[in-house]
Structure formats: C-alpha cells, structure tokens
Structure 1
Amino acid sequence: MVNHGNGSISIDTIKDTGHNFLIAKATEGSTFIDKYYNNNIAKAKALGLVNGAYHFARFTTKDKAIHEANFFKSIAADASPDFVVLDFEQQCSGDMTEACLVFLEIVATIAPALIYCNPSYIKAYLNSRITKYPLWVAHYGVSSPSTVLWPDYAMWQYTEKGQIAGISGYLDLNYMSGEFYNSIGTNEPVKPDPLIEQIKSLQYNLNIDYNAKLIVDGIVGKNTLTALKGIQDIIIKGHKSYVVLWIQQKLEQYGYLKENSYTQMLYDEPTFQAVTELQKAWGKSTSGQLNVSTWDIFLTN
C-alpha cells in the first residue's frame, strides 16, 4: 500500500522482494489527487503485478459519499486498476453503511470494489449489508485478524510499519487471499498461504544483509537453511539488519512482541525476550538464539 508520503518508489524493488500486488492511493476527500498514482499503477502493470487504487474517505453523509465517489472515479479510472478500494477510517457518527454502499456502488463500475476498515470501525459504524463487498481489514499484532461481520477477509493489512530493503520510510504490508487474487481476473495461480510471500521476503533480506545469493522463490531448501545456520551466531543483542526486522514482524504477528515496544531492525532486549517466550511456548531451548529449531517455527507458521 503506497501513497504520496512514500514519494517516488521503486516498484521493481517491491516485486523483487516477493510481493505480487500493489495498492496505490489515487485520491482523498473531494479535492486531493495523489500525484504518484498513475505512475505507480503503470509501473505495477508493466511488471505484471496485480494492482489496486484506493480513495481515502472524508465523507460523513451519503451525499458527500456520492460526491467523493465520482471524484475518485474521474481520477482513478483511466489507469484501469484491477480493483478499487474505499479506505474508510474517517471519524463520524451513527451508521455509515448506506453512505459506504453508495460509494462502492459507484466505483464498482471501474473495477471490483472492496472496503478497507479496522475491526473497531466495523463494529461502530457498519452493519451486515456492507458484506456485499469484500473486506480488506487492518488489524495489527495478531496471528489472525478479526473480520467481525465477514466470514473471512479478501486482504489483511498486518502492519503499518513495514520496511522493504531499498525503500525508505514505512510501508503498509498486506496479505491477499488466494480466492480474491484469482477473482480479479489474473490467470496466475496463487497459494493463499502467506508464508510463501514471507519466505520470499526473508530470502531477499538474506541476500541484501548477508550476500546469501539465494533464489527468491519462497521455498525453504538447502541453500536457505544453510544461510540461516550461517547467521545464527551473528544475530545477537545489538545486531541490526532487515532480517531482524523480518523476525520482529513475525513476533508481532504471533503476539509475542507489541507494536512500538522495540527498535525496528535492532535485536534489542524486547526482541530477545520475545524470542525466548516463543521458544518456551514451543518447547524449545530458551536461549534467545536464532537456531535451526527456532527458524523452523518461523518458517512453518
């Protein structure tokens, strides 16, 4: 998920780290246009990435929702995104289902539409009628997100502070279900298991941090295991790398590490303690060392 705040970014790098889709901001409210939108979508298409356009909502009424939907449509449509998103996180009051539905009905004439929301907003402002459209849920620091009204998610934003080697600043990182991926017109098969994408990201980071020279394929083979064995005595307290950040994001996902409780990329005390808690829960030696048995947890869950 990228927007003007990320500036001009390398879409090639996003693909090289194993990500197979990109969502770019197009508009906000009734006047703001993201100047990077068209370029981001064009680059994603050129690289074969599934791509989506999102609108950051400011509306609080149905009439304003209609106005914003038509504004978004006028800006987003020409780039022909594979899907479109209503980013609904605006402070409001009362049930907003009708306003959100009318927005989605208008923009769904561009491409398949879904709504982005967090569990607390779903509970506060929406009712079951909204499930006509798929859910992109934002839920951090959990092993599985709450979808509230929906039986499952189309997409899950699992962190707002992701980092990718070679790109400055934070990125929102997401999983996309295989069912949704295949429903938006791509012929490329995909496995819904997010571990594939996580392992690709780890392999890319091993190459960047330690010159591991791995093929970024999401497969835990002999070379990947050898690379992990080779760094088990390197990742100690005080060590800093993108691989450490990958570990921290996994620990957040499992619930052993709380957001903002640690220094990103640094194997600090909170990260060390979270690793030992993970090891204890899985019946491993609580050394805090990233040995093969500990990596096995990360690579299979």
Structure 2
Amino acid sequence: MQNRNKQNIKVIDVSHHNGTIDWAKVASDGVKGAYIKLTEGTTFLDKKSYDNYIGAKNAGLRVGFYHFAHADNDPIAEVNFFLNKLGSMKVDLPHCLDLEENKGKTKAQVTAFAVGWMEYIERKTSITPILYTGYSFIKSNFTSAVARYPLWIARYSGSNRSKGFANPGDTAIWDKWSMFQYTDQGKVNGIKGNVDINEMDLDFFNSINTGVTVVENNKPSAQLQPGDSGLAIKEL
C-alpha cells in the first residue's frame, strides 16, 4: 500500500478514555478531523461522545463517529443501536465500523458480519462507511468481500510507535488505505496523555469533504430515550 504523505490530513480518534479534551488547542495543533467513539455492541454509549462532538465541531474539525463491534452480535441490531444514539448529530466523515476482535468466529462469519453491518448502514444513511481494523487482523479474519469499502488500517512500529511505519504494508484485499493509524502513543495539545493519531489520504479526504457545520449546544433527543438502560441512565 501507499506511503504516508506530508500533504495528508491529520485526524485523531478519541473516546472517554481520553478524558476532558480542549478542542480549541487540538485544532491549533494541526488536527483537521476527529473520529469519536459513539457506541459498542448493542448496549454501550460512550459517556464523552456528545461533549466531544460539540467541542470538535465548534473548533472547526471534521467529525465522524465509530462503533466498536462485537462480531457475535446481529449486525443489524448493532447498526440500529448506533443510529439511534447518533440521532440528529451531523457528521462530516463516513460512519466507521471498528472491527478488531473476532469473538471466536470464523473468517467467513466475521466477513459476513462486516458486510452485513456496512451494507445495512449504507442503505439506511446513503453514506458509504469506512472499516477500521488492525493489519494483523485482516489476513485471518476477512475475505475479499469487504474490498469495496474504504480501509482505515492500524499498525504501529514497536519501540518507535510515535513515528510509525512509512506505510502499513501490503494486504491481499486492499491495495490502498484511506486512513492509517500509525501510533497509539501520539501527543496532541489539549489532550492529556497518549492519543491515537492517523493520516487520512488526501484524495480520500477531498472525495468526502463537505465542510463543517457548526452546531448548537442542544443534546440530541436520541441520545437517551424511554426504555434505555446502562451507564448513561445511571449518570443521569
């Protein structure tokens, strides 16, 4: 696959693990986009997702959400949960399926889950999703059935994780990455501790870029609904 390029777009991905973020400082550090964890499985809503959304949007960043998948679930149920929690929040980046655990499933089963998830969300939203996964996970868990979806690949370089590989290496399924997570130990102003840093391929960015819509500080109604349970309800 292609090498990293200085013209590519700097994107971070965050979750509640990154604590409270000063998004104005993040934007001033050359970051142009942020993927925010929204959901996991069919029950978990990230408690920082909405605050991160408001902060990143109003700092001028392109914003997208990712869903951490459990391959032993029904992919349709996972998509419906993700979209329910997304509500009226406005995205600038494609929805992301984060699939990095096979949950004991076979390659055919993991692939079927991924294709089912991505096909369904594409039908529901008219947005082609992106697939996030690790380099070593691809060979053992995916077939070429996922090839039509853009790849967000993660691979680090051991003791030199802060700089990362020049490229993640080759795969039998994709010959190009759309985004490359080259470190999980990055440093960005406005975030305490380490943060995942990615390069988004410039051509891919240009193909999806529609600009940023600044949003009002009103919590989307779909964040919590009658019948919901779990951490968010306990906190409320």
Output the TM-score relative to the length of structure 1.
0.58
In the TM superposition, 1:259-274 aligns within 5 A as none
Relative contact order higher in (CA < 8 Å, ≥ 6 apart): 2
State the Cα distance separating 1:169 from its structure 2 match: 1.9
Residue of structure 2 in register with 1:27 after alignment: 39
Give the alignment of 1:39-118 within 5 angstroms.
39-60=51-72, 64-82=74-92, 83-91=94-102, 92-95=104-107, 96-108=110-122, 109-110=124-125, 111-118=127-134
CA deviations on 1:86-141 (whole Å, 9 max, x unpaired) are 00011333121111011112223333311001122110111111011100000111
Q: Does the residue aligned with 2:185 lie in a helix, a strand or coil?
A: strand
- Tell me the residue number matched to 1:164: 188
Match for residue 9 of structure 1 among 17, 21, 25: 21
Larger Rg: 1
Q: C-alpha separation between the residues in 2 aligned to 1:29 and 1:42?
A: 23
Equivalent residues, number? 186
Map of 1:179 onto structure 2: 203
Deviations along 1:51-108, one digit per CA (max 9) or x if unpaired, are: 11000111325xx222111111111242121221000011333121111011112223
Greater share of residues in helix: 1
Instruction: Tell me the residue number matched to 2:48.
Output: 36
Paired letter, 1:59: A
Contact 2:156 2:182 in 1 (8 A): yes
Are 1:126 and 2:142 an aligned pair?
Answer: yes
Output the amino acid matched with 1:112.
Answer: T
More displaced stretch, 126-135 vs 110-119: 110-119
Gaps of 5+ in 1: 189-301
TM-score using structure 2 length: 0.74
1:137-216 alignment, distance < 5 Å: 137-141=153-157, 142-148=165-171, 149-186=173-210
Gaps of 5+ in 2: 1-12, 158-164, 213-236
Q: Deviations over 1:132-160 (max 9, x none)?
A: 11000001112211251111101000001
**In the aligned structure 1, how far is the partner of 2:91 from the partner of 2:190?**
25
Secondary structure of 1:79's partner? coil
Q: Secondary structure at the match of 1:27?
A: strand
